[in-house]
A = this chain, B = another copy of it.
Amino acid sequence: MPVPRYYQAKTRLLDLLDDLPGHTPFPPERALSDLLRVSRSTIRKALDELVLEGRLLRGTGRQGTTVAPPGQPHRIALHALTADQLPRERTTTSTRNDVTTVESVLVHLDDPIGVRQTHLHALPGFATRYDPGTPLREFLATAYRLRQSEPRCTTALATPRVASLLNVRPATPLLAVSWLGHDTTGATRELSRVVLRSDRAHLTLPQVRGDQIV
């Protein structure tokens, strides 16, 4: 089997897709199965990839599958992300074993676009001193003198918890940015990670040559 059937099916579905405007209802899986003469499982494997690529949206029940509108993803500056300068909601704080976790849902135009989870270790009085309405990064820098390490960027799969917060399916690939915070002695006090829905948010990066921004 040189080229798998699900990939042939994906190619044919892409042809259908290209002619359709956003929000158009897409044929049900069972209809596509009959149309392309392959089993529903095979059709689903093709549809799965198209959904991951942001070409299709799947709803539950009678909502069915629809063509995703081409909408441009929101551009987020790295600095806004790490400095916690984005609108957010549902910020929750919990403490266990001397580790405090702060979790926020980042929003854009009322849509959840990302989740930030910050783990803090041995910061006396944090829970009482921190006002969840203010930027966390600034508070950590001024109140505890935390210095931020070089952020790192990679991909991650949505955990069930993150998936429910972002309205995506578990194991959806996300863009991940993480960094550490060190106190004045150099000890690590902060571990932060932001995951972003890459279909809704891209990261814009400062370009640097030597030690200058160009």
A residues neighboring B (CB under 8 Å): 7, 49, 52-53, 73, 75, 78-79, 82-83, 148, 150-155, 157, 160, 170-171, 173-175, 177, 179, 198, 202-209, 211, 213-214
B213 A148 Cβ-Cβ under 8 A: no
Q: Cα distance A211–B211 when bound, in Å?
A: 11
Ranked nearest first, the 4 interchain pairs of A and B with the lowest CB-CB distance are: A173-B173, A153-B203, A155-B198, A154-B202
B154 A203 Cβ-Cβ under 8 A: yes
A137, chain B: closest CB distance, angstroms = 10
Contacts A7-B160, A152-B203, A153-B203 hold; do A209 and B175 have CB atoms under 8 A apart?
A: no
Contacts A153-B153, A198-B154, A198-B155 hold; do A171 and B205 have CB atoms under 8 A apart?
A: no
A73 B207 Cβ-Cβ under 8 A: no
Contacts A49-B157, A160-B7 hold; do A152 and B206 have CB atoms under 8 A apart?
A: no
B171 A154 Cβ-Cβ under 8 A: no
Residues of B within 8 Å of A78, CB to CB, are: 205, 207-208
- Give 21 pairs: A residue, B residue, CB < 8 Å, sorted on A: A52-B157, A52-B173, A75-B152, A82-B207, A148-B207, A150-B206, A150-B207, A151-B204, A151-B205, A152-B202, A152-B205, A153-B202, A153-B203, A155-B155, A155-B174, A155-B175, A155-B198, A173-B173, A175-B175, A206-B206, A211-B213
Chain B, Cβ-Cβ closest to A160: B7
A154 B175 Cβ-Cβ under 8 A: yes
A212, chain B: closest CB distance, angstroms = 8
A53 B157 Cβ-Cβ under 8 A: yes
